[in-house]
Chains A and B, each alone.
Chain A
Amino acid sequence: MLKMTDVKKVFRTDLVETHALKDFNLQVGEGDFVAVTGPSGSGKTTFLNIAGLLETFDGGTYELDGQDVSNLNDKHRSQLRNEKIGFIFQGFNLIPDLNLFDNVDVPLRYRGFNSAERKKRIENSLEMVGLAQRMKHLPSQLSGGQQQRVAIARALAGEPRFLLADEPTGNLDTKMANSVMELLKTINDAGTTIIMVTHDADLAKQARRNIYVRDGQVSEL
């Protein structure tokens, strides 16, 4: 389902080259829940960005759902992101002056759904995260945990095959972190493949599979 073979990523400045990923090989199957751990600067986020088609890479091959994505143009990459991938970020990344309904609506707008279909999906996904009653609220009126739930609802509204989460509980206290983790497990149980980058070893243990990234290379734990 997700297959990276000898993927390389180099960040260059005038003075220095940084090899963020070196011969990175990984295969993730459908319905998997992979926790990615590793020290800071090891390449975890770079891997996630490449996996989510947010960054290009300099060598190797990457197949997403059987499709080689190495040479796709911006339009096709954005279409793939929109249809197959959902993102959850550490900082939630909600748009502050849009209410919950409109925030969850953002990815659906680029999908071409009609308004009835969008409304149904938004209501369903907010229902799933337990915030259907607050869809007219602004993000600033919610707690951190609730905001992350909205971000999850936004990621789920398009019914993606993959959910990529970059330290989704990094800004939350333990109670809220556990609550979000339970939600992710429920989503995974429903069939969505999840790749989650985390520093929290306890949370990582709750995933089906753990991998460790160090110096741009991956190893199974």
Chain B
Amino acid sequence: MFNYYIKLAFKSFKRNPILSLLMVTAIALGIGASMTTITVNYLMSANPIPHKSEQLFHIQVDNWDPNNPFNDDEDALPNQLTWTDATNLTHAKKALRQSAMSMSGAIIEPQDSESKPFEASIRLAYTDFFAMFDVPFLYGGPWDNNSDSNREQVVVLSKRTNESVFGGENSIGKNIVIAGRHFQVVGVIDTWEVMPKFYDVNNGPFNETEELFMPFSLKEDLELPNWGNNNCWKSPDGEGYAAFLRSECINTQMWVELPNAQAEADYLDFLNNYVRSQKELGRFPRPLHNRLNDVMEWMERREVVEEDAKMMMWLSFMFLLVCLLNTIGLLLAKFTGKSSEIGLRLAVGASKADVFKQHIVETACIGLVGGIAGLGLTLVGLQGIKSLYGDFVDDLASLDASMIVVALVIALVSSIAAGLYPTWRACNISPASQLKSQ
């Protein structure tokens, strides 16, 4: 009977093409609007490193002003570390892997005289950064611990930078001039765009991966500028770059890899002891308060999915509801127009359940067609977001297979829900009155 109901649904579609088209349009608009915002929210809140997101922790310690917390929320801690603390904690090597990191930028001077120098973003980090975050390599690999300790001028390039400077060939061992100094290329990473960019949400959780990676220890030597937030609760003690680095200003992120709960507990103990030792040196005037946040906790704490985006999603759901209310009205009109046929079917042996099933299938077909059209509108909506916000939202504004399934399921479920009342009315008409009225 299911095939028969499908056939009848499409007959009915052809019988009232305008009414049917209006219903499909209403559902398509609702699905298009809601799926556009759902897709953006889904990608914003996706787990960027699902296989180990519970083993990676961002560190927070409270080095802030004794009289004023970091912000109005009493529970809030500074969202970055000082250069001093991040460096000390990394050098302590108490975790399986650890890395202080920050963002900077410098001018690259291509060796090819025809190419112009260009500014590139830099991720300053320790060698553990690459293993901790499972960064894939196209050529070579990360620098080693000695390079970190000895402040060697080595660099890892992004795939795109390697293409720009070396035409995409294997550049391991070659020299590249960055900030006026010669660096040796030790690795080229493959395409690696974590979305959201959880390891540095301060500098834009949806920004692209940096173009260069170099040892964190070089930040001091090269006096590289700080790209991104820098917050201070008191002025540096003295003038110059070294004084700035050793100040209580926070501008450095710190991630550790802790493979299990025991390691996490041990690391928190270590962190507390570290802060107590710093208190003896006159630092950390506020009460002891340190925290380890795993990847998803960190993204939630930093509100990676903005309230505006959530609000837009709820508004689009409201719009879908309005579209469905319209669909209910249109279905009522359509099924009322079919009263004589329904009366006839009941008279010749269809039960109310048969009529109900026939019309629910018809509603579901309309929903499915509306859902497919809605997917088209979703693509248009996502394209609109791309053109509005630029290339950096490319990864956010794309529809994957699971979202296509979600769109069709929402279209089916919502259209069936919208069709329940009109269908119930349809199967409760009196056949006798309908047949006589013909």
Contacts and interface: CB of A to CB of B under 8 A. Distances in A.
Interface of A: 45, 49, 52, 54-55, 74-75, 78-79, 81-83, 87, 89-93, 95, 97-98, 106-107, 109-111, 154-155, 158, 166
B222 interface: no
Given A54-B432, A74-B352, A75-B353, A97 B347 contact: no
Contacts, number: 74
Contacts of B232: none
Interface of B: 1, 4, 11, 14-15, 340-341, 343-354, 430-432, 435-436, 438
27 contacts: A54-B431, A55-B432, A74-B351, A74-B353, A75-B353, A78-B349, A78-B351, A78-B352, A79-B349, A82-B348, A83-B349, A87-B435, A89-B435, A93-B344, A93-B435, A97-B11, A97-B14, A97-B15, A106-B345, A106-B348, A107-B349, A110-B349, A110-B350, A111-B349, A155-B348, A158-B348, A166-B435
Contacts of B435: 54, 87, 89, 91, 93, 166
A45 B436 contact: yes
A183 to B, nearest CB: 19
Contacts of B350: 78, 82, 110
B4 A109 contact: yes
Nearest to A109: B4
- Among B341, B345, B349, B353, the most chain A Cβ lie within 10 Å of the Cβ of B349
B348 A154 contact: yes
Task: Name the prevailing secondary structure of the B interface residues.
Answer: helix
A171 B361 CA distance: 35
Nearest to B343: A93
B432 A49 contact: yes
A74 B11 CA distance: 27
A98 to B, nearest CB: 7
B438 A110 contact: no
Contacts of B340: 93
Given A97-B11, A97-B15, A106 B344 contact: yes
Nearest to B347: A87
Contacts of B348: 81-82, 87, 106-107, 110, 154-155, 158
Contacts of B352: 74, 78
Contacts of A49: 432
Contact of B349 (A82, A90, A93, A95): A82
A75 B350 CA distance: 9
Nearest to B7: A102
B6 to A, nearest CB: 13
A155 B351 CA distance: 17
A167 to B, nearest CB: 10
- Among A87, A93, A111, A155, the most chain B Cβ lie within 10 Å of the Cβ of A93
Given A106-B345, A110-B349, A154-B348, A98 B436 contact: no
Counting from the closest, the 9 A-B pairs by CB-CB distance are A82-B349, A91-B438, A107-B348, A78-B351, A110-B349, A49-B432, A54-B432, A93-B344, A110-B350
A76 B382 CA distance: 53
B17 to A, nearest CB: 12
A199 to B, nearest CB: 14
